[in-house]
């Protein structure tokens, strides 16, 4: 045997409902005992809330040996040994308590044909079912507080009114004058077979009953047959009728009774469904109510089928309505205001059993009845499924209540306010396995539907305990009257009052005359009578005065009452208008509240979904954060290892670089010394040529020696113009790139830089660099004294590994032009003041050594690093 498995369900979404507003449908399961001990059982009670169903042996063989047990959970499960009282205390008693507190309720039995639904609802002789026990509990609770008959009167719109005592008395007299309805045989039908059903000796009642209210119970009994509603309490006439003809042209006779007419459903002003024209009987005891029920039960349609000897072919609905209204402030009469009347109802429904026609072998009318029963039960199941889906998943599908009269009648219970309880009756025999399986699934799904919790009845605002205070007052008044010789055995109160007045008169003396000569008795009697006469006259006068004063007071009181009535009527009309406006405002606000509640439910559902997504994302984020932390720790360990390796490698390269830099510095110093010597020789040739060879100074002395300025002699006044000549380049024979930007200006001096075999360009290009091995850039800028300063930046061109050309700058020559009138040269012994008519300009070569070789590729070098400033026009001396 395999392990028991739970029913597979759809993934449930947590419904964000407020538990104080809605309650789930209460579903209970009852297992009937087997009819024979040798029958195979397929249902087993596991515990108080779980029942297990397993396929029978033949079903396993037919299904290729598949064997799986399934468990279903309900609010409570009742086994085969449960008694009717225990079932009533758990299921129906809370509904009766809510009925007396002014709340609605629905209780229906559901199951396969022959599963014990009618027995559960009606009971058997000596063991009453739920219906008689509900009636007994109601009348045990409200028995001392019932109103007289016809004080409450139901209207045709599912409402109730309160009649005055006179109208109620006339109604009672009319009822008493009516003949008792009889059967065609002339005798009243009595059912002693079921007389024991109403003899419930439990004496169960509701503890907290409002004793300042008066109550009245009305019952009605209907059936839904072939999707038509019929009144089972309607009195059919007994006169014979003409035969009707069906579609086959054959007469259809119904005996001596006119067939009942089907009723229609309507909706009242409170959006509750009711049957129009349904007979509602006011009952005052359990016996009377159950007699009415049994009178309708005899008209219910039943038939003999292969599954059940007395199978119900219709759904029966027994409705108990309880009307209640508070007493007035004196605790004597019922308040006439309709707003203070509370009407609640409890519907006890015995559904017809679902069945399969291949098992019942039904034909004709039985087949049509079975089809209508199954169709209505299928509609009920569809409505429950749509309600469940709308509540659990936030959808807004239309519930098909109108597809069946059964579901249309129950609409106000599922959409309105009221508790709903369902008893699932199952037969454990193996032949009903498949039907019981479908019933179990539907019943377990019904538990997930929530119904609005009924609201509490509003208080009337009067002082509690009015009834008992009125009774105590009457008892005390009767006791006082008896003590004062009050009315006994039907005497009126006026007689007792007159006797009290007579006791105030002086007593009469003895009137017996014993002697003829007695002259004292008569005078005494005459004296007493005169006193009594005077007292009577005085009382009469006082009474007349009191009557006159009372009449005057009554007239004044009447006039004041008329004026007050007019004033009150005016105020009442104003108040009624105000109340009408407030009612309209309340209706508008109620509609708005319902809309907002619906929106709140949708937002709560959305918030729940978002919270679930948030939790999932947080979990995913935490897992990814942990993964990232692990990766970061691994990365830190790897970085630590790499840093150790890099530090070791860096130390090695630093040492190697220091060694290479030292060698390179030594090499550069040697090259720099050679270039210094060449430069000195060139300066000596250009400026002050001498025949003797200069002494080779040391490197330190040459650095400390000041630069000698050479002043060219000024030409004579009548001398011919001097012919401009170019400076001779130190590197004649080499191929140069002479880079002169477009902003370059000629200085027009004697000393002009001239490079033979040079390619003059305005912008550096890779093509020109590829043909030469030297590079010279002419750069001009404005000096601090306002003259033009020209710099010749020179370098070597060499090829790079990538196939391009690079320039490494080696030296800078500076050519500076000074005006003789701009400033005077500082005189010194070695440099005397120049004579008048000296040369217009003098050239000073300042050599600047580049400490860092700049390496740039051709095409991208020389551009951004060197900006050529626009030169001002040369100022003439």
Centre a 10 Å sphere on the Cβ of residue 85 and count the other Cβ atoms it contains: 15
Q: Is 105 annotated among the ligand-binding residues? A: no
Local structure of residue 89 (DSSP, 8 states): I
Q: Is 803 annotated among the ligand-binding residues? A: no
In 3D, which of 70, 55, 74 has the Cα closest to residue 5?
A: 70
If 0-12 CB within 10 Å is exposed, 13-18 middle and 19+ buried, where does residue 849 land?
Answer: exposed
Q: Is 116 annotated among the ligand-binding residues? A: yes
**Cα–Cα distance, 793 to 779 (Å, whole number):** 8
DSSP string, 790-852: EEEEEEEEEE-TTS-EEEEEEEEEEEE---TTT-PPPP-SSSPPPPTT--S-----EEEE-SS
Q: Are 726 and 746 in contact (CB under 8 A)?
A: no
At residue 90, φ and ψ (nearest 5 deg) are -85, -40
Q: Is 159 annotated among the ligand-binding residues? A: no
DSSP string, 599-645: HHHHHHHHHHHHHHHHHHHHHHHHHHHHHHHHHHHHHHHHHHHHHHH
**Cα–Cα distance, 40 to 54 (Å, whole number):** 11
**Cα–Cα distance, 248 to 242 (Å, whole number):** 17
Q: Are 229 and 263 in contact (CB under 8 A)?
A: yes
Q: Is 729 annotated among the ligand-binding residues? A: no
Q: Is 606 annotated among the ligand-binding residues? A: no
At residue 360, φ and ψ (nearest 5 deg) are -80, -20
Count Cα atoms within 13 angstroms, Cβ side, for 864. 3
Structural tokens at position 668? 């550069």
**Cα–Cα distance, 159 to 348 (Å, whole number):** 20
CA dist 17 → 370, 384, 389, 612 (Å): 39, 18, 14, 16
Q: Which helix (H) or strand (E) holds 149?
A: none
Place of tokens 């009612």: 583
Q: Rounded to an integer, what is the distance from CA 365 to the centroid of its chain?
A: 49
Count Cα atoms within 13 angstroms, Cβ side, for 382. 17
Local structure of residue 92 (DSSP, 8 states): I
Q: Is 112 annotated among the ligand-binding residues? A: yes
Q: Are 676 and 699 in contact (CB under 8 A)?
A: yes
**For the chain, how big is the Rg over CA atoms in Å?**
62
Q: Residue 234: which residues within 8 A CB-CB, separation 6 or more?
A: 260, 279
Local structure of residue 421 (DSSP, 8 states): E
CA dist 171 → 149, 154, 187, 322, 541 (Å): 8, 13, 25, 20, 47
Q: Is 521 annotated among the ligand-binding residues? A: no
Structural tokens at position 525? 């009697």
**Cα–Cα distance, 845 to 727 (Å, whole number):** 12
The binding site for ATP comprises: 111-118
Residue ranges of the annotated binding site are 111-118
């Amino acid at each position: 045997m395999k392990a028991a498995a739970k029913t597979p369900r759809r993934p449930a979404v947590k419904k964000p409902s407020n538990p104080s507003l809605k309650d789930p449908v209460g579903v209970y399961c009852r297992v009937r005992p087997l009819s024979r001990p040798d029958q195979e059982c397929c249902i087993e009670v596991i515990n108080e809330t779980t029942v297990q169903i397993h396929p029978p042996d033949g079903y396993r063989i037919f299904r290729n040996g598949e064997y799986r047990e399934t468990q279903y959970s309900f609010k409570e499960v009742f086994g085969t040994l449960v008694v009717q009282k225990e079932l009533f205390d758990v299921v129906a008693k809370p509904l009766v308590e809510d009925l007396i507190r002014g709340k609605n309720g629905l209780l229906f039995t559901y199951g396969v044909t022959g599963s014990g639904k009618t027995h559960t609802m009606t009971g058997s002789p000596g063991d009453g079912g739920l219906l008689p026990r509900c009636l007994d509990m109601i009348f045990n609770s409200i028995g001392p507080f019932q109103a007289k008959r016809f004080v409450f009167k139901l209207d045709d719109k599912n409402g109730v009114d309160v009649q005055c005592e006179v109208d109620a008395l006339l109604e009672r007299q009319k009822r008493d004058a009516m003949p008792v309805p009889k059967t065609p045989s002339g005798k009243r039908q009595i059912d002693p077979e079921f007389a024991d059903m109403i003899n419930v000796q439990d004496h169960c009642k509701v503890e907290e009953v409002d004793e300042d209210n008066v109550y009245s119970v009305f019952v009605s009994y209907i059936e839904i047959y072939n999707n038509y509603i019929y009144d089972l309490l309607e009195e059919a006439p007994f006169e014979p009728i003409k035969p009707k003809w069906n579609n086959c042209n054959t007469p259809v006779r119904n005996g001596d009774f006119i067939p009942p007419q089907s009723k229609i459903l309507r909706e009242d002003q409170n959006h509750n469904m009711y049957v129009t024209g349904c007979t509602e009987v006011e009952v005052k005891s359990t016996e009377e109510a159950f007699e009415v029920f049994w009178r309708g039960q005899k008209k219910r349609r039943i038939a003999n089928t292969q599954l059940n000897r007395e199978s119900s072919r219709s759904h029966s609905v027994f409705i108990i309505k309880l009307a209640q209204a508070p007493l007035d402030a004196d605790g004597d009469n019922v308040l006439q205001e309709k707003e203070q009347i509370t009407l609640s109802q409890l519907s006890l429904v015995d559904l017809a059993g679902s069945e399969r026609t291949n098992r019942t072998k039904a034909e004709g009318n039985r087949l049509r009845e079975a089809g209508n029963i199954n169709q209505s039960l299928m509609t009920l199941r569809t409505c429950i499924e749509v309600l469940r889906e709308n509540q659990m998943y936030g959808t807004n599908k239309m519930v098909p209540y109108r597809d069946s009269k059964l579901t249309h009648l129950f609409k106000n219970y599922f959409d309105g306010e009221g508790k709903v309880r369902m008893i699932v009756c199952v037969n454990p025999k193996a032949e009903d396995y498949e039907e019981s399986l479908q019933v179990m699934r539907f019943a377990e799904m019904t538990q997930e539907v929530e119904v609005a919790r009924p609201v509490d009845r509003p208080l009337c605002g009067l002082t509690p305990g009015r009834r008992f205070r009125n009774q105590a007052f009457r008892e005390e008044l009767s006791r006082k009257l008896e003590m004062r010789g009050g009315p006994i055995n039907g005497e009126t109160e006026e007689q007792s009052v007159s006797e009290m007045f007579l006791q105030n008169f002086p007593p009469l003396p003895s009137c017996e005359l014993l002697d003829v000569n007695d002259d004292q008795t008569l005078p005494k009697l005459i004296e007493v009578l005169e006193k009594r006469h005077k007292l009577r006259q005085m009382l009469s006068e006082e009474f007349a005065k009191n009557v006159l004063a009372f009449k005057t007071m009554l007239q004044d009181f009447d006039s004041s009452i008329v004026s007050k009535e007019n004033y009150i009527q005016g105020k009442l009309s104003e108040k009624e208008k105000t109340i009408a406006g407030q009612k309209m405002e309340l209706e508008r606000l109620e509609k708005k509240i319902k809309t907002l509640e619906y929106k709140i439910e949708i937002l709560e559902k959305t918030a729940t979904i978002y919270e679930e997504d948030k939790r999932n994302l947080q979990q995913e984020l935490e897992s990814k954060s942990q993964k990232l932390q692990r990766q970061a720790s691994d990365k830190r360990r790897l970085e630590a290892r790499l840093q150790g390796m890099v530090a070791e490698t860096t130390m090695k390269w630093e040492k190697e670089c220091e060694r290479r830099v030292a060698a390179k510095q030594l090499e550069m110093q040697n090259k720099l010394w050679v270039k210094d010597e060449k430069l000195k020789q060139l300066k000596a040739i250009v400026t002050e040529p001498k025949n003797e060879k200069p002494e080779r100074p040391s490197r330190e002395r040459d650095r400390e020696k000041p630069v000698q300025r050479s002043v060219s002699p000024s030409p004579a006044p009548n001398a011919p113009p001097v012919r401009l000549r170019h400076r001779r380049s130190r590197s004649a024979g080499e191929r140069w790139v002479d880079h002169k930007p477009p902003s370059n200006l000629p200085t027009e001096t004697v000393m002009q830089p001239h490079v033979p075999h040079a390619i003059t360009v305005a912008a550096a290009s890779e093509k020109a660099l590829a043909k030469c091995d030297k590079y010279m850039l002419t750069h001009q800028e404005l000096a601090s004294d306002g003259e033009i300063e020209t710099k010749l930046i020179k370098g070597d061109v060499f090829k790079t590994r990538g196939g391009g050309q690079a320039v490494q700058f080696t030296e800078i020559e500076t050519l500076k032009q000074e005006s003789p009138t701009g400033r005077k040269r500082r005189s010194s012994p070695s440099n005397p003041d120049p004579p008048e008519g000296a040369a217009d300009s003098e050239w000073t070569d300042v050599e600047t050594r580049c400490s860092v070789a700049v390496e740039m590729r051709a095409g991208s070098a020389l551009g951004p690093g060197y900006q050529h400033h626009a030169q001002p026009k040369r100022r003439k001396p």
